[in-house]
Structure 1
Amino acid sequence: MDFTPTEEQSAVRELAGEIFGDLSTHERLTAAGTGTDTELWKALCGAGLPAAVEETGLLGLVLALEEQGRTTAQVPFAASCVYGVLALAAHGSGEQRDRLLPALRDGTAVATGAFPAHGGVRVSADGGPTGELTGVVPVVPWLRDATHVLVPDADRALWWIRTGAPGTATEQVETTAPWSAGRLTLSGARGERVGGPGPGAYEDVLATARTAFAGLQTGVCAGSLAQAVEHTGTREQFGRPLSTNQAVLLRAADAYMETEAIRVTSYEAAWRRDRALPYRTHALTAAWWASEAGRRVVHTGQHLHGGLGADLEHPVHRHFLWGRQIDAYLGCGAELLDELGGLIVDEQEGEDGQDRQDRRDGQEREEGAA
């Protein structure tokens, strides 16, 4: 395995780093409050970064998301690329790609996803490419910015719906980090299928999302740790910098190693997807590291700032909020490990996704009857 970025991927990372570094400043983030920085989003789309994802693949997106995470830039970059550009490029029909991708590439359309599936969305369809969706998804990140939402139904089939269309309603929801989230209510909303009727497309998009948000967490952790290193290197106590204390050094070293673990596992999962290799277990591994280790790293970043870490206006607190939000979005470590173990066993036994889902549905019905 060689995770060395291509020239195109390196160019995307450098360009993303320049744009985020120049425009996602502490002052601009403070002015944006809990909303999206629309000017920053226009700059990203004007530079062609969402469009570049089709060429640079998931690894290219992960590299760019690292740069976003370093500055906690408030734009729907990950959501629109994962649930829009990459999902349609991989599973959309030729007609869907021609019709929907141009607006996602230039940013005039923004996508998000009601992931992971909550099992509450039902669809009425005759087996054709369209259906009517009914159900509620309590929290959808970046929903308030989205023009379209990729929604999995109870059978893990994917449906593309337009926000604001008849049968769709959104309600503002505030999350730990300012992700412009909302509650999505569907009452006979018209949707078009993306991919086949089975869970294959859903499982691929879910693994892609886990990898992408793990990459985002890498940047969040790196940004938090960089601030802690700067603070402890300049703040003196008893006549010497805090960074010379062994306890501070060890805590920072642990945070660095855990950040690197998130980085390498997300790179591996992205690299495998781009080469059409099995990667769902690798995506779960990256998600586990991003959830468990990511939470510890942002706590470390805040704690190493001492009393300043408790200041809600301090930049490091924003990284803390983002790290906790990504942790919650990816799911707790125990749940991810349980799913990872089940997937490894299923792969060894040759059970596919639909067989596994049917088996679990049967178990739930038996438990309910009992």
Structure 2
Amino acid sequence: MDFTFTEAQDDLSGLARPLLADRSTTHIPDGTGFDRPLWDTLIRAGLIEATLPAPIGNGFGLLEQCTVLMELGRVAASVPYLTTVAVAAATIAAFGDDAQLRRWVEPITAGQFTLAVALSTDDDRVTATRSATGWQFEGRYSAIPAAAFADAVLLEAHTSEGPLLAVLDRDTAGLRITAQQVVDGADAALLELDAVRVDSTNVLGSPGNGAAAWAQRHATVAVCAYQLGVVERALESTAEYALTRQQFGKPIGSFQAVRQRLADAHLDVEAVRLTLWQAAWRESQGLPADAEIATAKFWAAEAGHRVAHTMVHVHASIGIFLDYPVHRYFLAAKRTEFLFGSATEQLRTLATALTSARSA
């Protein structure tokens, strides 16, 4: 694999970082989970349109989107880039038609349209049966990111013919959306579908066409990219604090126990980085990547947990002050740890992938 960043990745990082430079220190989120002023800033700067799929945007792919997600993670940004651009818009472009692109992706460029993503888990799923004009959906999804405010939801449903993806507008009859409070805001929601009729124009292709698995892979890689930004900046800020915080007349970073915690955190961050880019590169090249993606998400979950706790422990009491940025990174890392699959779930996926590869 090639670890060299593309020119587009370098340019996007160079554009995003200055825009986001002051968000972690001067900006205090309002608790809704949607930083709309920041989203508007990203729209005006052209960062959203640049990474939307062609023909709406510049057609950059997963690698470039991961670069933006890393920068958003570095400031623990509360914007729906992951769900709206990296997963929903990319999936619609890959499996939808021109009319669906114009309907759901084109309005994103105006900054007035966002999408949530609801994919099946061990606990939540939706079933679909054929009707005269399309499909009828039944089921529920809980704690769906961005669903409390999103204008539409990219949703997976299971049929006798295989899984399918559909996009449901917020005002779809029979779709109930109830806002839920999660650790770092109130952007999540419970989705309940009671005999929801879905027209065929809302469905991305046919059941079993691979769209749901494609969306799940991209969502998992995108979460890993965001988590890399979170833990990378968490480690940097913790190391900076250890160099300046004095105890017993010397920086706490000179104490062996602190140095060991920071060294372990450095190894964890590098593990997240290397496994992420391996998974993202293989997926972007159309190569088999199930095992690599599961490995990347395992490290994003496990390392995210350890680095977040190291950050709080080294900062001590100020690590939990609500007017200090440390707690935001802790909450972001913890939520991302479980989003689209915990470490245990990834180990199960990895075991299945390795067993299948050995059998083949």
Match of 1:125 among 121, 130, 139: 130
Match of 1:45 among 43, 46, 49: 43
Aligned-residue CA RMSD (Å):
1.9
1:5 equivalent in alignment to 2:15: no
Number of matched pairs? 347
Match of 1:221 among 194, 213, 231: 231
Distance 1:184 1:332 in 2: 21
Structure 2 length-normalised TM: 0.91
1:311-368 alpha-carbon deviations (Å, 9 max, x no partner): 2332111100010001121333222101111122224435xxxxxxxxxxxxxxxxxx
Residue in structure 2 matched with residue 329 of structure 1 by the alignment: 339
Match of 1:101 among 99, 105, 111: 105
Distance 1:12 1:127 in 2: 46
Residue in structure 2 matched with residue 317 of structure 1 by the alignment: 327
Structure 1 length-normalised TM: 0.88
On the 8 A contact 1:74/1:179 being kept in 2, the answer is no
On the 8 A contact 1:161/1:189 being kept in 2, the answer is no
Corresponding letter in the other structure for 1:135: G
1:113 equivalent in alignment to 2:117: yes
Residue in structure 2 matched with residue 232 of structure 1 by the alignment: 242
On the 8 A contact 2:31/2:184 being kept in 1, the answer is no
Secondary structure at the aligned position of 2:217 is classed as helix
Tell which deviates more after alignment, 81-90 or 118-127. 118-127
Give how far 1:119 is off: 5.2
Residue in structure 1 matched with residue 153 of structure 2 by the alignment: 149
Distance 1:328 1:127 in 2: 38
Corresponding letter in the other structure for 1:160: V
Say if 1:189 and 1:26 are closer, same or farther in 2 by CA, change over 3 A. farther
Q: Which structure shows the higher strand fraction?
A: 2
Residue in structure 1 matched with residue 56 of structure 2 by the alignment: none
Say if 1:90 and 1:75 are closer, same or farther in 2 by CA, change over 3 A. same
1:68-94 alpha-carbon deviations (Å, 9 max, x no partner): 111111111111113321111211123
1:273-306 alpha-carbon deviations (Å, 9 max, x no partner): 2222222221111111101111111111111112
Distance 1:77 1:256 in 2: 27
1:69 equivalent in alignment to 2:79: no
Distance 1:331 1:102 in 2: 30
1:304 equivalent in alignment to 2:314: yes
Corresponding letter in the other structure for 1:18: P
Identity of aligned residues (%): 32
On the 8 A contact 2:86/2:218 being kept in 1, the answer is yes
Which segments of 5 or more consecutive residues in structure 2 lack a partner in the other structure?
54-58
Corresponding letter in the other structure for 2:222: A
1:182 equivalent in alignment to 2:189: yes
Distance 2:19 2:261 in 1: 31
Give how far 1:224 is off: 1.1
On the 8 A contact 1:168/1:189 being kept in 2, the answer is yes
Tell which deviates more after alignment, 269-278 or 224-233. 269-278
Secondary structure at the aligned position of 1:2 is classed as coil
Distance 2:354 2:232 in 1: 31
Task: State the 4+ residue runs in structure 1 displaced beyond 3 angstroms.
Answer: 116-120, 347-350
Distance 1:174 1:39 in 2: 21
Which segments of 5 or more consecutive residues in structure 1 lack a partner in the other structure?
351-370
Say if 1:331 and 1:120 are closer, same or farther in 2 by CA, change over 3 A. closer
Corresponding letter in the other structure for 1:91: F
Give how far 1:59 is off: 1.0
Q: Which structure shows the higher helix fraction?
A: 1
On the 8 A contact 2:31/2:186 being kept in 1, the answer is no
Match of 2:172 among 151, 165, 168: 165
Residue in structure 2 matched with residue 28 of structure 1 by the alignment: 27
